A and B are shown apart, each in its own frame.
Chain A
């Protein structure tokens, strides 16, 4: 589940896990503290589950089984209920995401303006299909239902930045640039 260099050893912070190598303990503790603070602010109420999952994913990047178990225990929820909720909503990811991400909006307005061609170009350049992450963990390709940016259709998000009026040529050029820059670590 975790890659060997420790980039995604998010669970090193959790009591249940002994994986502390590769991540400074203090940095990890902070993440757990933030999550704890969110749960406390919601009085550990079971109905805060989705809020807590949002926060957990924001700080850890994805929701691992041990993280979900920790949340289940803290909110006094059955584990299956937490897992059921985490897999119901498409925002939540149970697997680590790539270092870079590209999301292509497949809403209707984008669709009739050629979002399908953008997706084909992106899949071609990155060598992964939509919803997948490259084997080296560097890049994830995703689709969105509708970003509500229909006025600038077709819209894409690369590493969190929304861009409109995208063409297959742009997306190919931008992803090529992204994938050929050396990794940060």
Chain B
């Protein structure tokens, strides 16, 4: 494979492509609402209308507006249909030539779409994730070529450092710094690990990226491997994501076949192989040392750091671990330059972030917005406010490790530091919206139950402390608690936060701490004399 061949594939693909493309979302959300049948019926309708030479139906990745799915778009023309049913197919095809269509029309210029800035999701809803040719035609693998042929590994790392990209898994560690640590670490072998163990309930950004654009992640991993000197990569994907696993495997096979993965990539001395590791249902495996243990076939239990995986990771070798979304940013940064990327977002948080907007909100789905957009803009403008005519009370960012942010603080810009300041975290990007019907103490209990069940059991504060916190919350919601119990609750939260071994335990009390801080009246209402 060389640049000419890559360009040739892109050219052939553009020539093959029909003038009109009907894009049918085939991500797992829409598939659960019959998207595959819709696609089949659309294919049939095109044939029946004799439009095969002009129109093609393409199964595409996620369009993002999942609550309105299944979604179909017709390009060119920016035509969007929502809540599509299989019996709408004929109408959608007829409408191309002015016929009538019963399917509900959506608006691609709606703020939900218009206010987004897609980088990670640039191909979502546009290309068929199961065909590498479409990815290449959209400019794919050009950055990998550029990295290998025009840049030294050190220059690639510089570029990533200058872009200001920070880890999208939650903690926000500077990506360039991590890469350079791995590059500098000595080891006869180094590994790249892509963390796709998206365990936060209410988060599905990574699932969507893997399902919609698997090559974007593979390309990012390959560039990283070149930069740090690794020749083997693993993508760890949750077992709950069968479609993502299937598409990723297909993508790996296609890339191997074209020589974009494997030995001597782009006729260089750079070799890189990628294998998938399927998770087996353990939230703690999102923690990097637990993830490593799991890839090694062991119980997913974290170990104390240092040593950090960058120095001693998989099988004791230097290992670069980044999450799916982080890798999905790499190709665009190499393609368009660090200056372009650093121009997006805020002073300390560059670029965009993908969020999964769910819960009691009108517009449910995935959005990608520049860092620094306020919660109010996200919830009210993109999200359209509360669902079912309610009033938004709070939003939980960062899942069970994050905090509840009350509506009164919705002018907080979404960036790493601002979210930390209000007692939450960026997390992986889940944003669960709550309205008046959600009791915040019940919610805190719900999260604590989650953490208690997911505690690996290794360290005492997390293993036993979460159970005790959960019991106290149970006592409170049952109306049997005393003010002394609230005091004990606070004390335990502090213990678990400060002394637990890993991030799961250290962040487990966050939902309790933040609800105690912002919704004390809901606790007081349940505790006499509080």
Contacts and interface: CB of A to CB of B under 8 A. Distances in A.
B272 interface: no
B414 interface: no
B337 interface: no
A85 interface: yes
A89 B238 CA distance: 12
A150 interface: yes
A178 B380 CA distance: 42
B311 interface: no
Query: Number of contact residues on B: which range applies?
Result: 35 or more
A150 B358 contact: yes
Contacts of A92: 280-281
Interface string B53-75: 00000000000001101000000
B278 interface: yes
Interface stretch (A24-32, A141-149, A167-175): A141-149
A103 to B, nearest CB: 10
Contacts of A81: 298
B169 to A, nearest CB: 16
Given A89-B280, A152-B66, A146 B297 contact: no
B150 interface: no
B508 to A, nearest CB: 15
Given A47-B296, A150-B202, A151-B29, A145 B281 contact: yes
Given A108-B446, A112-B359, A151 B69 contact: yes
Nearest to B430: A108
Interface in A131-146: 144-146
Interface stretch (B40-48, B193-201, B499-507): B193-201
A117 to B, nearest CB: 12
Contact of B438 (A112, A145, A162): A112
Nearest to B32: A162
A148 B245 CA distance: 14
Interface residues of A, number: 40
Most buried by A among B433, B434, B438, B450: B450
B69 A152 contact: yes
A152 B298 contact: no
Contacts of A148: 28, 198, 203-204, 207, 238, 240-241
A113 B294 contact: no
A85 B293 CA distance: 11
A165 B131 CA distance: 31
Contacts of A46: 297
Contact of B278 (A51, A111, A112): A51
B359 A108 contact: yes
B201 A109 contact: yes
A85 B240 contact: no
B395 to A, nearest CB: 11
B396 interface: yes
A85 B299 contact: yes
Contact of A108 (B67, B202, B239, B240): B202
B239 A163 contact: no
A68 to B, nearest CB: 14
A108 B282 contact: no
Nearest to B239: A91
B364 interface: yes
B356 interface: yes
B28 A149 contact: yes
Contacts of A112: 359-360, 432-434, 438, 443
B69 A91 contact: no
Contact of B299 (A47, A84, A161): A84
A118 interface: no
Contact of A145 (B240, B360, B432): B240
B144 to A, nearest CB: 28
A108 B201 contact: yes
Interface string B255-294: 0000000000000000000000111111100000000001
A152 B33 CA distance: 9
B200 A152 contact: no
B509 interface: no
Contacts of A51: 277-278, 297
Given A108-B396, A144-B240, A162-B31, A90 B294 contact: no
Given A88-B282, A89-B282, A90-B282, A164 B203 contact: no
Contacts of A91: 239, 279-281
A108 B397 CA distance: 11
A102 interface: no
Interface string A38-60: 00000001111111011000000
A146 B203 contact: yes
B283 A109 contact: no
5 contacts: A85-B297, A91-B280, A112-B443, A150-B66, A153-B364
Top 4 closest A-B pairs, CB basis? A151-B66, A107-B201, A89-B280, A109-B358
Given A112-B359, A150-B358, A152-B29, 9 more contacts: A88-B299, A90-B280, A107-B201, A108-B396, A108-B432, A112-B432, A151-B356, A151-B365, A153-B358
Interface of B: 28-29, 31-33, 66-67, 69, 198-204, 207, 238-241, 277-283, 294-301, 356, 358-360, 364-366, 396, 399, 430, 432-434, 438, 443, 446-447, 450, 454, 456
